[in-house]
Amino acid sequence: MASIAPRPYLRPLISEPAVRVSNFTRRFGQVTVLKDLDIEIGKGEFVALLGRSGSGKTTLLRTLAGLDPASPNEVETPQSRAVVFQEARLLPWKRVWKNVVLGLAGDQKDKAIQALAEVGLDHRVDAWPATLSGGEAQRASLARALVREPELLLLDEPFASLDALTRLKMHDLVLSLWRKHSPAVLLVTHDVDEAISLADRVLVLDNGKILAEEHIRLERPRVADQQFQAIRARLLGHLGVGVEAPRAPAPRKPEPVPAALAWAGE
């Protein structure tokens, strides 16, 4: 398969950006992880970020979350931000509802119950985290993010450890919550199909820079039709994975008819 020539990333003209990263560089010792990075994410926009391991995806997410320092001239984000990590990170000695409102002042149980109801966990309000399934734990983590009413929701591979069926259910849940609350979303993922299924726009990060982007204009819910597969092939090509175009199956040769059957049919 011929290699796909990357198109240069041009920062989109967004009238109301929730996130603006301008000429941002991040180094750790002698290693440059992000280099002269420019990104904008609009208010209410759902963006997915793809990249090989070590490309700087998590470094960027940590910076946008405020976990790593950055100059306000280089990185602008809303004050209200929340992160959902790959692991639920629930405190095992606190009930589920107390994990949801962890860090919030005052008695916030009613607010926790409301958030847990939104993610379908209102029946596990007083449960201990150790009794939750993997999918339930991630729902609790999502409720913990939503209870803070973020303008920017950062998702760091939150579905990677879930089984396929639970992952699809979580996709539907995240989309419904995004439609209801309208935060800007940045999803970091290794899963190309997941990125196409969820995002308005997919960015490919490589060697600390945005290598390419795809605007996903497919109607939701998205099915793996020809357009989906074409986008998938382009993104995989940017990630260095060659994909052969699907071929039509070869026509089947007629099988010889056994003599006994041939005689019976005469």
Return the CATH number at 178: 3.40.50.300
- Predicted confidence at residue 266, as pLDDT, reads 37
> Letter for the amino acid at 91?
L
- For residue 33, tell me if it sits in a domain: yes
- For residue 115, tell me if it sits in a domain: no
Domain of 38 in residue numbering reads as 17-80+150-264
CA distances from 10 to 38, 39, 210 (A): 9, 9, 9
261 HSE (CA, 13 A, CB side): 4
Omega before 158 within 30 of 0, i.e. cis = no
Q: Which of 46-50, 165-169, 255-259, 262-266 has the lowest mean pLDDT?
A: 262-266
- For residue 110, tell me if it sits in a domain: no
**100, 40 contact by CB (below 8 A):** no
Per-residue pLDDT reduced to its tens digit, 143-167: 999 999 999 999 999 999 899 999 9
Per-residue pLDDT reduced to its tens digit, 111-136: 999 999 999 999 999 999 999 999 99
Number of domains, the chain: 1
Confidence of residue 37 (pLDDT cuts 50, 70, 90): very high
User: Considering only CA atoms, which of 83, 205, 66 is closest in space to residue 138?
Assistant: 83
Per-residue pLDDT reduced to its tens digit, 86-111: 899 999 999 999 999 998 887 789 99
- For residue 251, tell me if it sits in a domain: yes
- For residue 34, tell me if it sits in a domain: yes
- Predicted confidence at residue 12, as pLDDT, reads 52
